[in-house]
């Protein structure tokens, strides 16, 4: 008998060789049906494979990330089998599960397109209906190579040859189809339903532009058809909200061929951007920050001292000035450290909170560029906090409270992820553990939950990442809190303690927006371009009914502008319905229609973007309404 420990800590005994499905069956028939895979001692494991010896187990359903991964990984094999049935000459590359779906890469001269999808999906449906069992088997290295050579799969042969000595080489068979794969998979193809092919793209083999370009088919799969339908509806809504599309339609920003990855902000985009910056400054003043500005370019010696030259050089733009290497800053922190060093610091000066809206540049591969979400230059809303060890918890809690206030202002919910020490790190393990525990304690004391992301910290310290959820349920990583003991050591930072001795401060790196550019992209999609009144580039659009009311319309516009309300007038000789529809397309929060009757009665006819016709009111009453929304940053 073997002992199996369940997630609740209870221990059950089973015959040696039991599998996860049998364990699930012993608990309930319903759980057996829902179980897709298992975590055995924290590692993904096939639900059909025998288990030997004592282990802890977690049974995975589609509600679990590992369960969804297994479900969609099986979908990738079904896709590959269907393509091979339709086009036997196609060569197989790789086909992993990814967030919200899976893909498979093929080497073929066939120009796959969405027009091929119905034929492929029909063949996939046949494979699902055949309910083929997925059978795992292993081969020694040389036999595995011969096996794939016989099948004419050179990419699989290359993968096998690159596996380290002693690595288990496993395959999965479903009917006539066999693929090199570590698993896990569902028990049969019949368990993987509701598959939808999504798109086609090119992808270099192993991600290197030096290798051959392959054809990649993206797809997704859900356990329930209703979930697939909801997902497809969300994608359609996301297309409408694409910030690149809205950025062009609303005149916010553009990216030109002359500067790929370097966004141009247009007048209305600058209004939005400056409003965000004004809000950022207001919040940081209230939370006790001072603002600084540091140079965009600094010499190599600084970047070597900070560690960026060794750990980040491939992402940096460099040049030579007066025979000295310089780098355009990819981060603001070394400059902030130099500011700290401009004068002697005492414990009475700490914590010292310094904010900076610093323009940084990072070299990103052209294929990774994406609107405002992935660019090569951006304004990082940085802050660096210098403090004593005793102040760490309070400062982290203060930053988390600031983040909570900011995200709530935009109606964005969030989750927190704690990233721990990576392999490529500086500093000793003991210091890393102390720093990581400080982050855990602060967030726990605030009553916030977090998940662990092992090994994904910055090279100089652990970090907390804040993942925002927009109105479609999509997540965006924006805010970060990074605790750093290494750079103060590298730069020999000091403060004079109450005991008169020199001490080493601790440093926090943090951003709340992440970058101004990325955050504009996020909120553009979150609001679908219909920004709340306080953020909207144009808050009120005035429209005259006839030439007779033009002078009155212009006078009202001047009064609104004088009150600080951003206003545009539409005095074109067009029908009022046309003007209203155009203002709605530009997502202006309020429209004022000025006709003879309104001028005669000293009122304005008001329409709102959301509420439609609001009737007439005095201009003063309307201004009070709008100014209240601006002052309180009211959400629609």
CB 238, CB 230: distance < 8 Å: no
What span, in angstroms and rounded, lies between the C-alpha atoms of 123 and 197? 12
Q: What pLDDT score does 595 carry?
A: 93
Quick one: pLDDT at residue 459? 74
Lowest mean per-residue pLDDT among 225-234, 340-349, 457-466:
457-466
Helices assigned H by DSSP within 204-357: 225-241, 243-249, 267-286, 300-306, 308-311, 333-340
β-bridge pairing 567-570 and 540-544: parallel
Give the mean pLDDT of the chain.
94
Which whole number is the average pLDDT over 384-413? 94
What is the reported pLDDT for 183? 92
Distance CA 58, CA 43 (A): 10
Which pLDDT score is estimated for 35?
97
Token couple for 100: 């919200």
pLDDT (0 to 100) of residue 428: 81
Distance CA 455, CA 462 (A): 9
pLDDT beyond 90 at 330:
yes
Q: What is the mean pLDDT of residues 151-155?
A: 96
Q: What is the mean pLDDT of residues 129-157?
A: 96
The pLDDT of residue 212 is 93
H-state helical runs in 413-479: 429-445
The pLDDT score that the predictor gives to residue 280 is 97
| Catalytic residue list | 333, 362, 380, 382, 384, 463, 509
pLDDT at 144: 96
Query: Residue 427: pLDDT above 90?
Result: no
pLDDT value of residue 477: 84
Taking residues 541-548, what's their average pLDDT?
92
- Could you identify the residue written with the tokens 């210098």? 386
Q: Residue 354 has what pLDDT?
A: 97
Quick: pLDDT tens for 246-268: 999 999 999 999 999 999 999 99
| Burial readout 573-602 (b: 16 or more C-beta within 10 A, e: otherwise) | eeebeebbebbeebbbbbbbbbbeebbeee
Model pLDDT for residues 84-114, shown as the tens digit of each residue: 999 999 999 999 999 889 999 999 998 899 9
Per the model's pLDDT, the better-predicted residue between 329 and 166 turns out to be 329
Q: Tell me how far apart the alpha carbons of residues 385 and 356 are, in angstroms, rounded to a whole number.
A: 11
CATH class in words for 540-632: alpha beta
pLDDT at 588: 97
pLDDT band at 636 (very low <50, low <70, confident <90, very high): confident
Q: How does DSSP classify residue 548?
A: G
Nearest by Cα to 130 from 201, 199, 189: 189
Residue count of the chain? 636
Q: Residue 495: left (phi > 0), alpha (psi -120 to 50), or beta? A: beta
CATH of domain 68-238: 3.30.980.10
CA neighbor of 352 nearest in space, from 381, 383, 385 = 385
Q: CATH fold of 264-294+329-526, please?
A: BirA Bifunctional Protein; domain 2 (3.30.930)
* pLDDT at residue 366 in the model: 84
Question: Contact 486/307 with Cβ under 8 angstroms?
Answer: yes
Q: What is the tens place of the pLDDT at every residue in 5-21?
A: 999 999 999 999 999 99
Assess whether pLDDT exceeds 80 at residue 458: no
| Cβ-based burial of 211 (10 A; exposed 0-12, middle 13-18, buried ≥19) | exposed
User: In terms of Cα–Cα distance, which of 538, 510, 477, 252 is closest to 399?
Assistant: 510
Q: Which fold has domain 2-61?
A: Ubiquitin-like (UB roll) (3.10.20)
pLDDT, mean of residues 430-438: 87
- How much is the pLDDT for 135? 97
> Is the pLDDT confidence value at 424 over 90?
no
Q: Could you read off the pLDDT of 460-519 as tens digits, one per residue?
A: 788 999 999 887 778 888 899 998 888 899 999 999 999 999 999 999 999 999 999 999
182-198 confidence digits (pLDDT tens): 999 999 999 999 999 99
Point out which residues pair with 381 in neighbouring strands: 357
Positive or negative: CA dihedral 371, 374, 376, 382: positive
For the segment 573-589, the average pLDDT, to the nearest whole number, is 94
271-285 residue pLDDT tens: 999 999 999 999 999
State yes or no: pLDDT of 227 exceeds 80.
yes
Q: Which two tokens stand for residue 623?
A: 């201004």
Percent of the chain with pLDDT over 70: 100
Sorted by where each begins, the domain ranges of the chain are 2-61, 68-238, 264-294+329-526, 540-632
């Amino acid at each position: 008998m073997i002992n199996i420990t369940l997630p609740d800590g209870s221990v059950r005994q089973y015959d040696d060789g039991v599998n996860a499905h049998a364990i699930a069956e012993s608990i309930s028939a319903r759980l057996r049906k829902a179980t897709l895979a298992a975590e055995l001692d924290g590692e993904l494991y096939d639900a059909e494979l025998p288990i030997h010896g004592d282990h802890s187990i977690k049974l995975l359903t589609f509600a679990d990330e590992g369960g969804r991964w297994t479900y969609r990984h099986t979908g990738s094999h079904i896709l590959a089998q269907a393509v091979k049935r339709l086009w036997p000459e196609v060569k197989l590359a790789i086909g992993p599960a990814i967030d919200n779906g899976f893909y498979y890469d093929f080497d073929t001269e066939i120009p796959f397109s969405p027009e091929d999808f119905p034929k492929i999906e029909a063949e996939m449906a046949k494979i699902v209906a055949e309910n083929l069992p997925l059978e795992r088997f292993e081969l020694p290295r040389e036999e595995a190579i011969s096996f794939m050579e016989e099948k004419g799969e050179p990419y699989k042969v290359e993968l096998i040859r690159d596996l380290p000595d002693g690595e288990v080489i496993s395959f999965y068979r479903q009917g006539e189809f066999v693929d090199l794969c570590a698993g896990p998979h569902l028990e049969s193809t019949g368990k993987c339903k509701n598959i939808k092919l999504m798109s086609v793209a090119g992808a270099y083999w192993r991600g290197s532009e030096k290798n051959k370009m392959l054809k990649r088919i993206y797809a997704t799969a859900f356990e329930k058809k209703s979930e697939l339908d909801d997902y497809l509806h969300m994608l359609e809504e996301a297309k409408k909200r694409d910030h690149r599309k809205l950025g062009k339609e609303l005149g916010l920003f553009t990216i030109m061929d002359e500067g790929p990855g370097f966004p141009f902000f247009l007048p209305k985009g600058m209004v939005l951007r400056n409003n965000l910056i004004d809000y950022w400054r207001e919040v940081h003043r209230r939370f006790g920050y001072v603002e600084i500005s540091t140079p965009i370019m600094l010499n190599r010696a600084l970047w070597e001292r900070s560690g960026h030259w060794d750990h980040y050089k491939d992402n940096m733009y460099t040049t030579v000035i007066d025979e000295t290497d310089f780098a355009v800053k990819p981060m603001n922190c070394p400059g902030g450290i130099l500011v700290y060093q401009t004068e002697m610091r005492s414990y009475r000066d700490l914590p010292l909170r310094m904010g900076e809206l610093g323009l940084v540049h990072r070299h990103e591969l052209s294929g990774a560029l994406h609107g405002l979400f992935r660019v090569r230059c951006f304004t990082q809303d940085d802050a660096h906090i210098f403090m004593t060890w005793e102040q760490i918890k309070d400062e982290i809690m203060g930053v988390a409270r600031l983040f909570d206030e900011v995200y709530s202002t935009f109606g964005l919910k969030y989750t927190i992820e704690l990233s721990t020490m990576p392999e490529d790190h500086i500093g000793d393990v003991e210091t890393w553990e102390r720093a990581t525990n400080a982050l855990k304690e602060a967030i726990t004391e605030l009553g916030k939950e977090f998940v662990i992301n092992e090994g994904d910290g910055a090279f100089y310290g652990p970090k907390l990442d804040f993942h925002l959820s927009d109105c479609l349920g999509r997540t965006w990583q924006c805010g970060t809190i990074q605790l750093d003991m290494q750079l103060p050591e590298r730069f020999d930072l000091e403060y004079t303690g109450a005991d008169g001795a020199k001490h080493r401060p601790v440093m926090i790196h943090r951003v709340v927006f992440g970058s101004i550019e990325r955050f504009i992209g996020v909120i553009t999609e979150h609001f679908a371009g219909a920004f709340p009144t306080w953020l909207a580039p144009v808050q009120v659009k005035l429209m005259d009914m006839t030439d007779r009311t033009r002078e009155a319309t212009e006078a009202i516009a001047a009064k609104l502008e004088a009150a600080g309300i951003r206003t545009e007038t539409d005095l074109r000789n067009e029908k009022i319905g046309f003007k209203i529809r155009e203002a709605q397309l530009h997502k202006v929060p309020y429209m004022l229609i000025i006709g003879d009757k309104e001028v005669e009665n000293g009122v304005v006819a008001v329409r709102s973007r959301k509420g439609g016709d609001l009737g007439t009111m005095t201009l003063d009453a309307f201004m009070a309404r709008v100014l209240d929304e601006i002052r309180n940053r009211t959400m629609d």
